[in-house]
């Protein structure tokens, strides 16, 4: 976490030179915290001038800073704070208020600008040690219920591929009813969706029985993602394309399944990264020279792709995530590298995460990152020490 020292602020604003104490003022700024603080954290006074508040605060060593707000009646309200707010809690500009700083040597803690890719990669790569959660070989990774993550194992006998479930804060393995022959898994609104080696998608509740629905796809489903706002499931298939199904509310049953044409026929489609607004998604193939393509939703509810929005990324891609800074994270299985792109096709940065046969990626709050490897490097959690600023 970064810290911004007062003197940086003070160098930008005039000192109050009337006294020898180096009080500072932030002009036209206020603090985005509610006024009804309890009396352990501050209090409010009404005065006829900001200087009167300054006198008042100077005689109370507990006051760390205060805001002075002008009213139309040419009187003032001062909010005294016993603590230093976060840098991000200061609101600029606010033309009827000033912030007075009473402790020149204390520091503003600043939240991290996680949309700064350089800083983000630095912080993530500092934490690549001691990340192991499981040493099973894994195929797919997805979000589960109750703060869990789901991962499908990759066995030499495919019928032994099973679902494992982990607590995403502790990494603890949580028991899940036995399920086998899986290639992919997803979870949405209390239902599990499984792509199996029998070339179908089954839907289950958390008891795993009975099966609620079975959709025959005649191809292997390699990835399952959800369009939550419109209650749809996207499934990436080897060879034939992208399945798009409606999810019947409450039951979770799949309905109206259609195929969005695959523009790389014959290749394995593992990577689907849904944009935050869910009006578009990116697709990547586990094959050389395919690039990352953008599919956009049309007003008539069909999905189309063309050369626009394409990301030039010729390496095989096994996963794609669009983060809330709208960056596209592309997982390269052969080089164990993640590349991060701006949606205008600019490469913003890349990092080698170590291990072998990198496969899937999940990004959680404050850029805690889960990755799977199709090797004994298994499942890893990388936990950078970040406190991310809200995205504007």
Ligand X SMILES: *[C@@H]1O[C@H](CO)[C@@H](O)[C@H](O)[C@H]1NC(C)=O
Chain residues binding ligand X by CB under 6 A are 27-28, 39, 46, 71-73, 75, 95, 105, 113, 116, 118-119, 129-130, 145-146, 205-207, 210, 246, 248, 255-256, 298, 300, 302, 342, 344, 346, 365-366, 387
Q: Please, which residue, 111 or 287, has the CB nearer to ligand X?
A: 111
Shortest separation between residue 300's beta carbon and ligand X, angstroms: 4
Cβ closest to ligand X, residue 17 vs residue 146:
146
Start-to-end CA distance of the chain, whole Å, equals 19
Sequence-ordered list of residues with C-beta below 8 angstroms from that of 56, at least 6 positions apart, any chain: 45, 47, 78, 80
Nearer to ligand X, 91 or 145 (CB): 145
Task: Classify residue 391 by its DSSP letter.
Answer: P
The nearest distance, CB 206 to ligand X, in angstroms, is 4
> Residue 63 has which token pair?
């006051």
Q: Tell me how far CA of residue 209 lies from CA of 58, 131, 179, 186, in angstroms.
A: 69, 34, 10, 16
Minimum gap (Å) between residue 287 Cβ and ligand X: 26
Instruction: Provide the minimum distance between the beta carbon of 1 and ligand X in the complex, in angstroms, as a whole number.
Output: 7
Half-sphere exposure (Cβ direction) of 29: Cα atoms closer than 13 Å: 19
156 vs 307 by CB, closer to ligand X: 307
Distance CA 279, CA 257 (A): 18
Nearer to ligand X, 56 or 342 (CB): 342
Pairing relationship of beta strands 280-285 and 42-47 according to DSSP bridges: unpaired
Q: How far is the CB of 116 from ligand X (least distance, A)?
A: 4
105, two tokens: 């040597």
The least distance separating ligand X from the CB of residue 313, rounded to whole angstroms, comes to: 15
Choice between 265 and 365, CB closer to ligand X: 365
DSSP 49-106: -HHHHHHHHHT-TT--EEEEEE-TTS-EEEEEESSPPPGGGEES--TTEEEEE--TT-
Pairwise CA distance, residues 146 & 186, whole Å = 14
**Closest CB 334 distance from ligand X, rounded Å:** 27
Q: Which is nearer to ligand X, 49 or 366 (CB)?
A: 366
Please give the backbone phi and psi of residue 104, each rounded to the nearest 5 degrees, phi first.
Answer: -60, -25
What dihedral angle (degrees, nearest 10) is formed by the CA atoms of 23, 26, 28, 30?
Answer: -100
Query: CA angle 66-70-75, nearest 5°?
Result: 105
Let me know if 41 is exposed, middle or buried by CB neighbors in 10 A (0-12, 13-18, 19+): exposed
Give least dist CB 295 to ligand X, A: 12
CB of 209 to ligand X, least distance (A): 7
Nearer to ligand X, 129 or 218 (CB): 129
Question: Cα-flanking dihedrals φ and ψ of residue 10, to 5°?
Answer: -65, -30
Give the nearest residue (CB) to ligand X: 246
CB of 157 or CB of 209, closer to ligand X = 209
Longest CA–CA separation in the chain, Å: 82
* CB distance 99 to 90 below 8 Å: yes
Query: Shortest approach of ligand X to residue 316 CB, angstroms?
Result: 25
Q: Which CB, 249 or 265, lies closer to ligand X? A: 249
Q: How far is CA 289 from the centre of its chain?
A: 28
């Amino acid at each position: 976490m970064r810290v911004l020292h007062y003197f940086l602020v003070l160098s930008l604003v005039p000192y109050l030179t009337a006294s020898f104490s180096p009080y500072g003022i932030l002009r036209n700024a206020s603090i985005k915290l509610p006024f009804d603080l309890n009396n352990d954290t501050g209090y409010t006074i009404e005065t006829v001038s900001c200087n009167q508040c300054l006198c008042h605060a100077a005689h109370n060593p507990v006051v760390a800073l205060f805001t002075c707000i002008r009213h139309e009646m040419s009187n003032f309200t001062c909010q005294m704070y016993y603590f230093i707010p976060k840098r991000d809690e200061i609101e600029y500009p606010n033309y009827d208020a000033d912030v007075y700083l009473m402790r020149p040597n204390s520091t503003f803690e600043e939240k991290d600008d996680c949309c700064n890719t350089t800083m983000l990669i630095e912080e993530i790569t500092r934490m690549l040690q001691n990340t192991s959660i499981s040493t099973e070989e894994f195929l797919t990774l997805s979000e589960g219920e109750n703060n869990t993550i789901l991962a499908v194992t990759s066995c030499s006998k495919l019928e032994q591929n099973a679902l494992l479930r982990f607590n995403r804060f502790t990494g603890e393995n949580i028991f899940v009813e036995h399920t086998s022959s899986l290639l992919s898994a997803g979870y949405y609104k209390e239902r599990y969706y499984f792509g199996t080696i029998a070339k179908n998608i089954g839907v289950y509740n958390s008891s795993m029985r009975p099966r609620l629905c079975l959709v025959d796809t005649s191809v292997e489903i390699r990835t399952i993602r959800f369009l939550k706002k419109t209650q749809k499931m996207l499934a990436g298939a080897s060879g034939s394309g992208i399945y798009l199904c409606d999810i019947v509310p409450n039951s979770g049953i799949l309905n109206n399944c259609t195929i969005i044409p695959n523009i790389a026929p014959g290749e394995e489609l593992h990577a689907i990264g849904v944009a935050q607004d869910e009006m578009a998604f990116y697709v990547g193939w586990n094959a050389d020279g395919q690039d990352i393509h953008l599919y956009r939703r049309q007003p008539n509810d069909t999905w189309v792709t063309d050369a626009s929005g394409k990301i030039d990324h010729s390496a095989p891609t096994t996963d794609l995530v669009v983060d809330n800074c709208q960056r596209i994270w592309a997982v390269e299985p052969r080089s164990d590298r993640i590349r991060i792109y701006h949606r205008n096709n600019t490469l913003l940065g890349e990092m080698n995460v170590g291990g072998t046969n990198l496969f899937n990626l999940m990004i959680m709050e404050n850029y805690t990152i889960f990755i799977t490897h199709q090797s004994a490097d298994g499942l890893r959690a990388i936990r950078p020490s970040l406190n991310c600023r809200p995205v504007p």
